[in-house]
Chains A and B, each alone.
Chain A
């Protein structure tokens, strides 16, 4: 616990001396300063520091700076990082990546196609959550030469789908460190070796992770600008806010502090507060229905419930304005796949009551029309608030809601396995492409007990077909059209209410420059981040 890393001090010192001798290569508007240590807040600890093993924001926030993907997303579109070019055949069964030359792993060995092939077949296809569905049809990755990787699929894979998934799900690992070992128990899973601007130094569980500047970074000697990054684990959000104000941390991402503190610090001239840099990571706050409940199986009841929710007010109160009303399973950050030409439900309690009357649910002697048991998801501060808001709103139209508290395992089992709920709410992330994210809420057929899938007892064969067709449609324009149809149907039928879309929010000290300059900045490498000390 109270460890001293005596060897660390001299090597860090050497690094700093070497680093300060390098002159900045770029003359920008402001004079870029080299050096400095970034203290970054982590509100939860993922413990597995391998982005090819765990797909999770908490993992990317750390490892994204150490391990790089084939492709990353910038405001100019998808750009190659470890890949330089990509193309697909007309039948969609082969996709070829040209890999960057002259890139070395942190231990000095060269990065080649073998690494990509090994990682794709052993990790992306077999072990990485979300990715195994995506790569289910991957048959092999061929290496005609050390810098060309050919992905062969048994069924057509839309190029734009694979490309969109690569920033999160496309991190190659060094084959020479993993081959022949027990992949899950390999110690490098907590001590990552990558090609990125920062090299892993130390991980003290429960406290911090340290990474220092990679002197041989392939983008050039001038990068990265920082000397070091220290990720501090602070689970208590109030303590984290205090640490920000005391200058002990400079960045807290993914809503690491409470909404109230976010609102407060947005008025503080020392901080930049906003949603810029999260366009790739939008999430939805939802209301989920258990369609096995007779009342909720009636679409009029579901529509009535939507009418009783004052979404604008909820956005003001709970999200402090940092959100937009949802228009279906695909959010506005979904690019061409998104449409808002859908049916909407304005806040109208009288209309809600009328719909309930029509469906046959009239108030009893106590004014109660319906009783529902509701499970809030236990992650995120606003899920609890959203649940309480839901209960408040429902009471006004005569629906009595009992809130059940549960922790993560209790929630997952209660909703997804035992189906022991009437309504539930959660937040669900949209991962760049609907096929790998939100469609899973609508398509029937997932085995009982699969978390984060349609366990709601909702089955619509028409919708199922539309989802399958869209997932394998190779023409991007046609694909977009198919998703528009799905969006419209989802808003008509309301199997799930995608009530609010909210991007995540960062609180960043103004001493950091070049921050949040890509749409998935917190998960990305931060090679051009510098500090004005």
Chain B
């Protein structure tokens, strides 16, 4: 089947997925007790009934659920994500404000995790069962097993309070108004601990996966044949093993994009980073429906595109899989 056909089919299938997600989430969230007004009023520390009634009518929350769903979906068709009553701004504005921080955090964490993790995993596989292997593997597992928020808090205590090397939180030093290179350095400093907290878990994952994959593939016929032919070990590793061992790593990468957003919820909260993760948590707690739907919509699109690309990459890497 041609590539173009495949692409079109995937695109067409993505649409019902999105619909299922949006409608399903909307209805699911409506099942949660309470709504935005309850959360807002709770935040304020109290209000009288007239105020609350007025707020509800204002937000359209006094209408039947299906009506609200209909209104929402029609707006969505025009790419109008609606108004966030909690933030008093259009959802799109808030999302765009926050997207940069989270993307930066995610990309640097994944980059760090994949590169260092794969490298360590390959080294461990090369020296399989030796002491080096055991140390690397166990260390990786310890990183993996440690809750990221615990690690984050301990790092703050050590590096910010005791040593004063790194800032406690936030994305930049207010109001220093750095420009250019200074600004980049300032943001980078603020991201060191959050990236470390978030990435160590995925680092361990990639390390183990790479190690397992390399070991698996090293055993297969065509690799043995290559070795028997006298091709050098380095060439072996890079061309044959790496190419096939990348398969599960690539699969996992597709999965991680969605998971790491969840991981960023906690890390962003600990470090007070203004990102999508913290936004999502607040949106659930405050029943900010429009905001939550906006986040889910945005991340859904990203994940679908990423998965699609990964499947293509996958098929190219393993020529034995047919894309029926």
Which residue numbers of A lie inside 8 Å of B, CB to CB?
1-2, 4-6, 8-9, 12, 37, 44, 46-48, 54-59, 127-130, 132-133, 184, 189-190, 205-208, 210, 230, 232-236, 238-239, 242-243, 245-246, 248, 378-379, 406-414, 418, 428-429, 446-447, 449-453
| Known contacts A56-B45, A246-B160, A409-B33; A4 and B167 CB within 8 A of each other | no
Q: Let me know if B34 and A413 touch, CB within 8 A.
A: yes
| Known contacts A54-B44, A207-B174, A232-B174; A189 and B88 CB within 8 A of each other | yes
* A44, A248, A378, A379 interface centre (most CB from chain B within 10 Å): A248
B199 at the interface (CB under 8 A from A): no
Q: List 25 A-B contacts (CB under 8 A).
A: A1-B98, A1-B100, A2-B100, A2-B172, A4-B179, A12-B175, A56-B44, A129-B46, A130-B47, A132-B51, A184-B58, A208-B175, A210-B174, A230-B174, A230-B175, A233-B272, A236-B271, A236-B272, A239-B156, A246-B164, A248-B167, A408-B286, A409-B35, A412-B42, A450-B52
Q: Let me know if B272 and A46 touch, CB within 8 A.
A: no
CB proximity to A under 8 Å, residues B64-90: 86-89
Q: Please name all residues of chain B whose beta carbon is closer than 8 Å to the beta carbon of A129 when the two chains form the complex.
A: 41, 44, 46-48, 51
Q: Let me know if A245 and B44 touch, CB within 8 A.
A: no
Q: Let me know if A246 and B161 touch, CB within 8 A.
A: yes
State which of B39, B43, B153 has its C-beta within 8 Å of the C-beta of A238: B153
List 18 additional A-B contacts (Cβ < 8 Å) besides A205-B89, A239-B168, A239-B169.
A1-B97, A129-B47, A184-B58, A206-B98, A207-B274, A232-B170, A234-B170, A234-B272, A236-B272, A238-B153, A242-B168, A243-B168, A412-B34, A413-B33, A447-B49, A451-B46, A451-B52, A452-B46
Closest Cβ of chain B to A35, distance in Å, is 15
B171 at the interface (CB under 8 A from A): yes
Q: Let me know if B43 and A408 touch, CB within 8 A.
A: yes
Please, which residue of chain A has its CB at the minimum distance from the CB of B174? A208
Q: Let me know if B33 and A57 touch, CB within 8 A.
A: no
Q: Let me know if B179 and A451 touch, CB within 8 A.
A: no
Q: Let me know if B175 and A1 touch, CB within 8 A.
A: no
Q: How many Å lie between the Cα of A184 and that of B51 in the bound state?
A: 12
CB proximity to A under 8 Å, residues B137-194: 153, 156-157, 160-161, 164, 167-172, 174-175, 177, 179, 183, 187
Q: Let me know if B39 and A239 touch, CB within 8 A.
A: no
Q: Please name all residues of chain A whose beta carbon is closer than 8 Å to the beta carbon of B278 when the two chains form the complex.
A: 206, 235
B99 at the interface (CB under 8 A from A): yes
Please, which residue of chain A has its CB at the minimum distance from the CB of B98? A1
* A12, A44, A239 interface centre (most CB from chain B within 10 Å): A239
Q: How many Å lie between the Cα of A129 and that of B32 in the bound state?
A: 26
Q: Let me know if B42 and A409 touch, CB within 8 A.
A: yes
Q: Let me know if B88 and A47 touch, CB within 8 A.
A: yes
CB proximity to A under 8 Å, residues B212-261: none
Q: How many Å lie between the Cα of A233 and that of B174 in the bound state?
A: 11
Q: Please name all residues of chain A whose beta carbon is closer than 8 Å to the beta carbon of B48 when the two chains form the complex.
A: 129-130, 132-133, 450
CB proximity to A under 8 Å, residues B24-46: 32-35, 38-39, 41-46
Closest Cβ of chain B to A359, distance in Å, is 33
Please, which residue of chain B has its CB at the minimum distance from the CB of A431? B46
Q: How many Å lie between the Cα of A207 and that of B229 in the bound state?
A: 62
Q: How many Å lie between the Cα of A233 and that of B45 in the bound state?
A: 18
Closest Cβ of chain A to B241, distance in Å, is 41
Q: How many Å lie between the Cα of A233 and that of B271 in the bound state?
A: 11
Q: How many Å lie between the Cα of A207 and that of B274 in the bound state?
A: 7
CB-CB nearest 3 A-B residue pairs: A409-B34, A408-B42, A129-B47
State which of A1, A54, A451 has its C-beta within 8 Å of the C-beta of B38: A451
| Known contacts A47-B87, A132-B51, A452-B46; A242 and B161 CB within 8 A of each other | yes
Please, which residue of chain A has its CB at the minimum distance from the CB of B287? A409
Residue count of chain B within 8 Å CB distance of chain A: 59
| Known contacts A127-B51, A184-B58, A412-B38; A429 and B46 CB within 8 A of each other | yes
Q: Let me know if B177 and A8 touch, CB within 8 A.
A: yes
Q: Let me know if A429 and B86 touch, CB within 8 A.
A: no
B300 at the interface (CB under 8 A from A): no
Q: Let me know if A130 and B46 touch, CB within 8 A.
A: yes
Q: How many Å lie between the Cα of A210 and that of B176 in the bound state?
A: 13
Q: Let me know if B44 and A46 touch, CB within 8 A.
A: yes
Q: Please name all residues of chain A whose beta carbon is closer than 8 Å to the beta carbon of B101 when the two chains form the complex.
A: 1-2
Q: How many Å lie between the Cα of A82 and that of B88 in the bound state?
A: 29
Q: How many Å lie between the Cα of A406 and that of B153 in the bound state?
A: 25
Q: Let me know if B42 and A1 touch, CB within 8 A.
A: no
Please, which residue of chain A has its CB at the minimum distance from the CB of B58? A184
Closest Cβ of chain A to B53, distance in Å, is 10
Q: How many Å lie between the Cα of A127 and that of B97 in the bound state?
A: 30
Q: How many Å lie between the Cα of A5 and that of B177 in the bound state?
A: 7
C-beta contact mask, B279-290 vs A, less than 8 Å → 1, else 0? 100000111000
Q: Please name all residues of chain B whose beta carbon is closer than 8 Å to the beta carbon of A428 when the two chains form the complex.
A: 46
Closest Cβ of chain A to B32, distance in Å, is 7
Q: Please name all residues of chain A whose beta carbon is closer than 8 Å to the beta carbon of B170 when the two chains form the complex.
A: 207, 232, 234
Q: How many Å lie between the Cα of A232 and that of B274 in the bound state?
A: 12
Q: Please name all residues of chain A whose beta carbon is closer than 8 Å to the beta carbon of B34 when the two chains form the complex.
A: 407-410, 412-413
B270 at the interface (CB under 8 A from A): yes
Q: Please name all residues of chain B whose beta carbon is closer than 8 Å to the beta carbon of A47 when the two chains form the complex.
A: 86-88
Q: How many Å lie between the Cα of A234 and that of B44 in the bound state?
A: 17
Closest Cβ of chain B to A44, distance in Å, is 6
Q: Please name all residues of chain A whose beta carbon is closer than 8 Å to the beta carbon of B88 when the two chains form the complex.
A: 47-48, 189-190
Q: Let me know if B45 and A429 touch, CB within 8 A.
A: yes
Q: Let me know if B168 and A55 touch, CB within 8 A.
A: no
Q: How many Å lie between the Cα of A451 and that of B270 in the bound state?
A: 31
Please, which residue of chain A has its CB at the minimum distance from the CB of B187? A2
Q: Let me know if A411 and B160 touch, CB within 8 A.
A: no
Closest Cβ of chain A to B99, distance in Å, is 7
Q: How many Å lie between the Cα of A320 and that of B164 in the bound state?
A: 29
Q: Please name all residues of chain A whose beta carbon is closer than 8 Å to the beta carbon of B49 when the two chains form the complex.
A: 446-447, 449-450, 453
Q: Let me know if A55 and B177 touch, CB within 8 A.
A: no
Q: Please name all residues of chain A whose beta carbon is closer than 8 Å to the beta carbon of B97 when the two chains form the complex.
A: 1, 205-206
Q: How many Å lie between the Cα of A449 and that of B52 in the bound state?
A: 10
B94 at the interface (CB under 8 A from A): yes
* A2, A37, A184, A379 interface centre (most CB from chain B within 10 Å): A2
Q: How many Å lie between the Cα of A235 and that of B100 in the bound state?
A: 20
Q: Let me know if A408 and B39 touch, CB within 8 A.
A: yes
